Structure 1
Amino acid sequence: MDGLGPASAQHGSDRVSFSGSCTQPLGAPQPPNEPHAISVSLPTWEAVTAVMAGEDWATRQLRTSYPRFDIHNYVRELQDAVLARFKYPVQTVCRAFPSQEAAERFVARLQKADPAVSAHMARFQLPREALPEMANWAAFSVVLFQENHEEVAFEFWEWFGDGISSRHAEFCVSLFSFMNSDSNHSEYRTVGPASHDLSAMAIPEWIDFSTQDKMDIKSRLAGSATSADPALKPVGNDDVFLYATGMAAISAIARTLARTSEDSGAVVYGWPYSGTPHCVQGCGFKRYTMYGHGSKEDLDTLESSLILGTRCTALFCEITSNPLLSTPDLHRIRALANRFGFVVVCDDTLGTSVNVDILPYVDVIITSLTKIFSGAGNVMGGSLMINPNSHHYSSLRAHLNKTYEDLYFPLDAKTMARNSSDFAARVHKCSTTALQIANLLKSHPSVESVNYPTMVPTATLYEQYRRPDGGYGFLLSVFFRKPASAVVFFDNLDVWKGPTVGTNFSISIPYSALAHAKEQDWAAAHGVPKHIVRLSVGLEDYGDLAERVSRALQDVEMREK
């Protein structure tokens, strides 16, 4: 196998070494030969822009993709099986969801875009006599609609994280012949060809262990997030809610908060992950405002607006932000929240609860478990944690207890529990190396600036939240003096290249070209240059990674002569 050895895609904080070239062919899964890989190889800047533009030469080479950015092969297989059973023409599109509620939200999104849309739902499940443990997971809902609504459908799939997972789809495919379908429309009511004989259905052993796996994940998250301040209550396992993706966790809390008031308003503060503003804006708030610079002046403007009577229900922020690695002023945000009664929701995916202690300042912590909590690049997941010290604790717990659906597929939970067993050790290792790589890049004359928590204007803020033994995170981004140099650096940087961060293997991407392909000018106006290169540092030894970064910088020097 080219690139990193198999151990790099597994959990474990042991040394990871490079072995030969890391660059994978365009469209190859990352990790290689992993059926549930969450990243795809985009080895050159040209490949990234071509894929995002939908150019055929590039898209036809994609063997997989980040699961929210496209339809995973197992999900596609399940959707094709549904269309075949319903004998539908090729112009009809199918989307599969783990629950009826998720399917209904998808239909509502289609109808909002086009009130005349023709969308029909059906529910697939085992016959009533099936074991409850099997019936709970051998079930899914689908929505059928016309292909001219694909753009809206993909936006929903990407921004809200409600789609069925690849492992869940694989499981349902294996039992599809046993499943019946039900619907308000008679043409979607079918009987599975094998549903009359459930004795032929194998019972997977993981059915009996899923509860413990989820408890292990919750315990790990709760223990890590608990504040060092002895005056604060520790986070309990029951304060943690698990989701199939990080975006599903964000959309869940956003929907919950949007319903708490007839005059609800949401604020996104700072420059977050590109999907977060779309997600928050689409969850039902009456008003939505983004303060994209994340500056003191933005907080001044917010405060003035609140004083004048503008209603704010929730403020969403990140520590640190992606890809600018800025830190919000949580002290001031907390003071404003106490004064005006809004909920503070903070995403700690990049900072991590290992490095920063934010419990004294926020009401809800969101984490994309897909990233460094897993590390292995082979499973999705998200979490929502309610701060037991929050004034909003009782009401938030009551709302979530009423609406929460446990849709985290047991095999995903099992994989996540295994991967995350050494979460803290990996965070410390990656953070140490990332700081060294950031310093290496910053010292090069071709580099204009490096975004890393120690090197951005909010560095002193980060120090206020950093734990005594905490580092500065695994992610950095670099901006070159010449745009052409950024392209040369990325194309010649011999690490894995593609979407996602926080993997045990270092991985890079031209961030704006990927995340803001259709809005790069807008992103640039908010401080995200078109030619910014993001690098997520993995478990490799510093010497190994520094050598590859230095070689790419040498290529930049050669081109600049």
Structure 2
Amino acid sequence: MNQEIFSHIPCGQTLPLNNIHAVSVSMPSLQDVIDYEEQTPEILEKITIAYPRFVMHPYLKTLAKYIKEKYKISDSYEVVLLSSQKAVEVVSSVYFIHNKIEINEPFGVILVQNGTTQLQKVLKFIQHVGYNLSSRLAEDYLYKVGLINKLHEEKLEDKSKAKEILVSSLANAYKQPLENICLNPSGMNAMYCVLKGIKNIQARNGRPILVQLGWLYLDTMNIVNHYFEESKIFYDVTNLDLLEEFLKKDGLKVSTIVTEIPTNPLVQTVDLEKLKTLCDTYNIPLVIDSTFATPYNLDLNPYADIYVESLTKFACGNADVLMGAIILNKNSKISHISYEFFKHADEPYIKDIQRMAYQIKGYEKRVKQIGKNTKELVKYFKTAPFIDEIFYCLQDKYATNYKKLMIDEDSYTGIVSVTFKKEFAKVYDSLAFAKGPSLGTEFTLLMPYTYLAHYDLITSKKGQEFLKQIGLPINLLRISVGTENIEEIKKEFEKIKNL
């Protein structure tokens, strides 16, 4: 990011700055976050671009209006744009939408009747399964028909080589053959495609139960709720005894176990050796969300059957491409049926592939620098008088699990979550780092995790009790550590002493 180190960024500014394809947005005060969650009119005027699965991009709004006029669609219907015709079929089959229109466009369109609750349900479902239309595709389309007069200037890889560069980079990083890599229009779409494939395979074998290990990312849990009648959640990844007892009784009914390594946002690492033994005992495939781990921090190949990575994060490093990947482990018993996992995927838009191919060249170097900064920042936090709790990959009770997986002992996973001994709003508001959703950026990015991910739980007594039960602090600050000079990062946190 081209900004002074560090300066307050006004609410609604894109992160990165001045980038129409940014996937994050500045929310510099805690009140901004609360207003966003409560959807106040004032904040909606400021925040027009944000994470594309949560806030509709202005180019998509313009394109939807154009399509409505082009095809003379009645005002009683809302036009909803999707990444493809395949996406149309998925959404239509879930919500029984029969009013699909015949169009000749490079994307999908469905019509949802206004004045019903169905529109919000459909938009939420698209958010969960990640079949979002690319802002770059919308931009090119609008430019071609004359509705915008210029294209965003950015560095792109050559169109003819971009996909090969991107896929081979991932294959090399994960040490897998090219054919075991599948690109998706978002990380959540990658997770959706995997879980749909698992259901197709395992449900036929009388294995209807999906096990979620740990408090997974919200939309992963939502996908599970949509597609699996039976699911079981074990919130504590540090205690596999409960899972072991469950598997003794129902292990042969379990279709898969899904977990994050390390977990978001508490950065915990399960005992993968014990977990893998349990999976092998009951012939259960293990799906690992490796976004935090990255293929450069941890070696998960002895354990994972399938990886899912949100490339939007560390692989991109600039928060301006929405993309995901499925990586099948060649050593897995299920890798030979890749079509079950890949057939639901959409090909990302070519310009997104070109941008990601350009960004991924710096993936390893970026992760190593972030990892070294993270290690130094943790060391600093351990003696900082204003820090209450630190959650990081080498917390004492998780250190053994994490150390076994480490590729480089000088490099930590680039996420640290902390709580403070001072008033959270004052701390959050005072820091001049970029503040908003997402992670994995070269610029340090802060997020008040529980407020943005689980505001509904914060606002009810029952929800607060549940958060306490699963050990997720309300006033948790998730820090995605950047590549800036570590002394400058520490210097910014020093401000908290004077609050």
Fold-level similarity (TM above 0.5): yes
TM-superposed deviation, 1:329: 1.6
Aligned to 2:456, the other structure's residue is in SS state coil
1:542 equivalent in alignment to 2:482: no
Pair 443,525 (structure 1): closer, same or farther in 2 beyond 3 Å: same
Q: What residue identity is the alignment partner of 1:225?
A: Y
1:516 to 424, 430, 454: 454
Instruction: Identify the residue that residue 442 of structure 1 maps to in structure 2.
Output: 382
- Whether the 8 Å contact between 2:444 and 2:484 is mirrored in structure 1 is yes
1:116-195 to 2 correspondences below 5 Å: 120-125=99-104, 139-147=106-114, 148=116, 149-175=118-144
TM-superposed deviation, 1:163: 1.3
Deviation by residue 1:180-228 (Cα, 9 ceiling, x = unmatched): xxxxxxxxxxxxxxxxxxxxxxxxxx999545211211111121122xx
Instruction: Identify the residue that residue 440 of structure 2 maps to in structure 1.
Output: 502
Q: In 2, distance between residues paired with 1:455 and 1:302? A: 22
Q: Unaligned 5+ residue runs, structure 1?
A: 6-17, 112-117, 126-137, 178-205, 227-234
Instruction: Identify the residue that residue 53 of structure 2 maps to in structure 1.
Output: 68
Instruction: Identify the residue that residue 411 of structure 2 maps to in structure 1.
Output: 471
Instruction: Identify the residue that residue 250 of structure 1 maps to in structure 2.
Output: 191
Q: In 2, distance between residues paired with 1:405 and 1:165? A: 14
Stretch deviating more after TM superposition (162-171 or 101-110) = 101-110
Pair 398,144 (structure 1): closer, same or farther in 2 beyond 3 Å: closer
Stretch deviating more after TM superposition (425-434 or 266-275) = 266-275
1:51 to 33, 36, 51: 36
Aligned to 1:308, the other structure's residue is in SS state helix
Deviation by residue 1:265-286 (Cα, 9 ceiling, x = unmatched): 211101222221112332x223
Deviation by residue 1:350-396 (Cα, 9 ceiling, x = unmatched): 1111010000011011110000111011111111000001112213x
1:375-524 to 2 correspondences below 5 Å: 375-395=317-337, 397-400=338-341, 403-455=343-395, 457-468=397-408, 471-482=411-422, 485-520=423-458, 521=464, 522-524=466-468
Q: What residue identity is the alignment partner of 2:99?
A: H
Q: In 2, distance between residues paired with 1:405 and 1:176? A: 28
Q: What residue identity is the alignment partner of 1:146?
A: Q
TM-superposed deviation, 1:404: 4.6
- Whether the 8 Å contact between 1:161 and 1:246 is mirrored in structure 2 is yes
Q: In 2, distance between residues paired with 1:319 and 1:21? A: 31
Aligned to 2:361, the other structure's residue is in SS state helix
Instruction: Identify the residue that residue 264 of structure 2 maps to in structure 1.
Output: 322
Aligned to 1:535, the other structure's residue is in SS state strand
Q: What residue identity is the alignment partner of 1:345?
A: V
TM-score, length of structure 2 as denominator length: 0.91
Q: What residue identity is the alignment partner of 1:215?
A: E
TM-superposed deviation, 1:333: 1.4
Pair 214,463 (structure 1): closer, same or farther in 2 beyond 3 Å: same
Pair 455,469 (structure 1): closer, same or farther in 2 beyond 3 Å: closer
Instruction: Identify the residue that residue 186 of structure 1 maps to in structure 2.
Output: none
Q: In 2, distance between residues paired with 1:20 and 1:218? A: 34
1:339 to 278, 281, 285: 281
TM-superposed deviation, 1:334: 1.0
1:31 equivalent in alignment to 2:10: no
Stretch deviating more after TM superposition (61-70 or 463-472) = 463-472
Aligned to 2:400, the other structure's residue is in SS state helix
Instruction: Identify the residue that residue 217 of structure 2 maps to in structure 1.
Output: 273
1:217 equivalent in alignment to 2:166: yes
The alignment of Structure 1 onto Structure 2 pairs a total of residues equal to 479
Q: In 2, distance between residues paired with 1:88 and 1:542? A: 55
TM-superposed deviation, 1:303: 2.2
Instruction: Identify the residue that residue 233 of structure 2 maps to in structure 1.
Output: 290
- Whether the 8 Å contact between 2:156 and 2:357 is mirrored in structure 1 is no
Aligned to 2:101, the other structure's residue is in SS state strand
Pair 90,490 (structure 1): closer, same or farther in 2 beyond 3 Å: farther
Q: In 2, distance between residues paired with 1:333 and 1:314? A: 12
TM-superposed deviation, 1:237: 1.1
Q: In 1, distance between residues paired with 2:369 and 2:127? A: 31
Q: Which has the larger radius of gyration?
A: 1
Instruction: Identify the residue that residue 81 of structure 1 maps to in structure 2.
Output: 66
- Whether the 8 Å contact between 1:374 and 1:419 is mirrored in structure 2 is yes
Q: In 2, distance between residues paired with 1:450 and 1:375? A: 24
TM-superposed deviation, 1:90: 4.6
TM-score, length of structure 1 as denominator length: 0.81
Q: In 2, distance between residues paired with 1:423 and 1:302? A: 35
Q: What residue identity is the alignment partner of 2:354?
A: K
Stretch deviating more after TM superposition (330-339 or 437-446) = 437-446
Q: Unaligned 5+ residue runs, structure 2?
A: 147-154, 459-463
Pair 429,209 (structure 1): closer, same or farther in 2 beyond 3 Å: closer
